[in-house]
Structures are given as structure tokens and as C-alpha cells.
Amino acid sequence: MPTLKEIAQHAGVSISTVSRVLNNDLSRHFSEETKVKIRNAAKELGYDPSDSVKSAGRRSTSSPETKQRKIGCIVAVPQNKYNHPYFSPILEGIEQQLDELGHRLTFVSTVKELQGEEEMRRRIRESGLDGFIIVEGIAPEMYQSIKEMVPAVVGIDISDLTVPVVSYDRVQAAKSAVRHLISQGHQRIAFIGGTGLTGDLDREKRYRGYRYALQEAGLEVDARLVVNAGWDVDVSYARMADLLAGQEIELPTAVFAASDMLAISAMRAVTEQGLRIPEDIAFVGLDNIELSQYTSPPLSTIHIPKSEIGRMAAKILIDELEGKHPLPFKAFMPFQLLIRASSEFTRTNGE
């Protein structure tokens, strides 16, 4: 059976829109044209909402206690359109794993789409959810409401010691990227990223990894080379252009960007100034989104197993509902440095 992501791509809409239309969610108004487009796409791809019910029924013959669970998912995306390359594979992994286990992803939403805590509470009540997967941190009040209303919660990259969490070590991932640049002879390394819920860059794990790697190499952090782009690709591009146009500081010879999308927009600013990548300024991103291998030159990055993270979270949630985890835990997924042409250049004598 096709996934919500595949239907969304076929219809040219978001995953959450597909989820709402196919589940007859009346909390948001969609035009009749959009509804018809989604239903036609689902039909063309062979989507049958009863398939998961039948699948659960087949499983129940061997295990009478098994029932189909209704699962919800909320994604904390500040700029939804920019982050889909990272979050979509996670959502796809969640949906695929639930489907294979005979359960159903009832709805997917972003914090912004929920339009506040009251709307979220209403939707949870109406959906009769058994479990919830939270992808990255959301406002404490909204998070507490979810925990009060839903029997089981699993987080992806959230900070809570009372629920199971699936994550990767963001500090170490960032350190590995910066250590690679240092090993290539770079000493003036810029950082582009954003903050989390706290709004404090010093507490953001990827920035901390950047800072720790420099400190371990005996290098100073130059605050003028630290760019808080707020996870916005337009800001990343503009701030990189400003940095290159400035006359008061020595330019960086390398950039570590806390996401591939931020790296890609900053790379454009560099090439527009007639500078070469990696000879003048090298780049390493983080995420390994699909587009990163097609940039010019291909972007070095940290591979994060996004689909596997989603699958793991879904499996843990179902196990949690079945009482298989007596205590909360944190599962770290592996990451891998992928060296491509954007950083494959060794500087000598600081040149």
C-alpha cells in the first residue's frame, strides 16, 4: 500500500493535508479541488484504508490481544517548507513501520497547523489516539497536554527522561564534521545554524559540538564567524553574503552548517562572489538530505539515518503500548561522515 508521503508527492500537497483529507478531518477547510486531487492520487496509487485493518485482523488470528492502534504525530517545524527534506523520511519511516505492524498513522501535523493547544486537544479527543510520536521539541504546555491525554508517547530528538526517545548524538556528529575540516588544515571555520526552544545558541547541541571541536584543537571561537540563521535558508544565504562582503575581518576558509539546507544556500552566496569551493571556502553540512549529493560540488555531510529513526520510534511506541518497556530509555542511532568534493581539499601552511 502506498504511503502518505507518496500520495502527497503525487498530488502535490503536504503529508498532513493528505492525512486530514483521507481521515475526513473537518478541523481545517480544504477546497473540493484539493480533496478530489488527493482522493484521485490515492486511488491511482492503489491506496485502500481498509488494508491496514485487514492486516491487523490477520495478525489477530495468531495473537488475539493484538488490535490496530491509532497513532498521531506532531512535527516541530519552524519553517515547514525548508525542513521537509529532513523530516519527510522520518515520517515515511514511521508510517511504513506502523503499517507493517498492522497499525495506523491517524494524522500528521505541525505545531503551526494545530493552531494552538486547544485545537490540538480537540483533535486528540476526536481521534481517540492510542499513542503519539513527537518529532523534536514543542512548547512545554502543549507537550504536557499530549502526555496527559495519550496513553503512550515516544519522542524523536526531544529532552524528556520520562518517555522513550530516539535520537542521534548531535554534539558528536557536529564534532566529527568540524574535526574533518581541522584535519584538512582549516583554522578559521564558520558556523551556520539556529537555536532550539530556549532561543540560546550556546545550548544548541550542534553549535556545542562545533565549539568543542575547535577548543580541543586549541582554536578560538570567533564570534564574528558564528551565524544564527534561525534555520532559515534565506537568512543563511544573506548572512553568508554579508560576511563575504565585509572588509573588517579575515574570511573563513571553511564553514560547518548545522543542516544541509543552510549549507546549500550559503554555498550559493560563495560561488556568486567568484570564490571556489573547496579551494577558497570548504563546506560540510549535516543531515545528508537527498539533494546534498547533487550540489556543485557535491556537499560533504553527516549522514543521519532518518527513515530508520522513524521506524525505530514507531516500533518502540507499539512495544510501549504492549507493556514491553517497563522503564524509559534513550536510543542513539549511528551517524556517518560522508566526505565529498565540497571539503576534499587540504590546506597547507594556513593558505
Of the residues 303, 325, 343, the one at which a domain ends:
303
Whether residue 343 is contained in a domain is answered as no
Do 232 and 283 lie in one domain? The reply is yes
Residue range of the domain that includes 101 = 66-167+305-333
Note whether 181 and 114 are same-domain residues: no
pLDDT tens digit at each of 351 positions of the chain? 677 777 877 888 877 677 768 876 655 667 878 888 888 888 888 887 655 444 444 443 334 356 789 999 988 865 443 346 888 899 999 999 999 999 989 888 887 777 677 878 888 888 889 999 999 888 888 889 899 999 999 999 998 999 999 999 999 999 999 999 999 999 999 999 999 878 899 999 999 999 999 999 999 999 999 999 999 999 999 999 999 998 778 999 999 999 999 999 999 999 999 999 999 999 999 999 999 999 999 999 999 999 999 999 999 999 999 988 888 999 999 999 999 999 998 887 555
Looking at residue 234, its pLDDT comes to 95
339 domain-assigned: no
CATH number of the domain that 35 lies in? 1.10.260.40
- Whether residues 193 and 260 fall in one domain: yes
How many domains does the structure of the chain reveal?
3
Q: Which residues contact 184 (CB under 8 A, 6 or more apart)?
A: 254, 282, 343, 345, 346, 347
Spatial neighbors of 111 by CB under 8 A, at least 6 apart, are 74, 75, 76, 77, 138, 139, 142
- Residue type present at position 312: M
88 in a domain, yes or no?
A: yes
Q: Would you say residue 351 lies in a domain?
A: no
Considering the domain architecture, whether residues 90 and 43 belong to the same structural domain is answered as no
Is residue 58 included in any domain, yes or no? Answer: no
Q: Using the 3D structure, point to which of 286, 303, 320 is the last residue of a domain.
A: 303
Torsion of CA 230, 236, 241, 247, to 10 degrees: 50
Residues 240 and 154 in one domain: no
Query: Domain check: are 253 and 311 in the same one?
Result: no
Asked if residue 244 and residue 125 are part of one domain, the reply reads: no
Residue 74, C-beta contacts closer than 8 angstroms, at least 6 positions apart = 108, 109, 110, 111, 114, 120, 132, 133, 134, 135, 138, 146
With respect to residue 314, please indicate whether it lies within any of the assigned structural domains: yes
198 with 322, same domain? no
Q: What residue type is assigned to position 262 of the chain?
A: L
Model's pTM, two decimal places?
Answer: 0.80
Tell me, yes or no, whether 207 lies in a domain.
yes
Angle between helices 15-22 and 32-44 (to 10 degrees): 90
Residue 34 and residue 105 in one domain: no
Check whether residue 203 and residue 146 sit in a common domain.
no
Residue 42 and residue 141 in one domain: no
Closest alpha carbon to 33 in 25, 45, 41, 23:
41
Q: Which residues contact 248 (CB under 8 A, 6 or more apart)?
A: none
CATH number, domain of 182, equals 3.40.50.2300
Same domain, 137 and 261: no
342 within a domain of the structure (yes/no): no
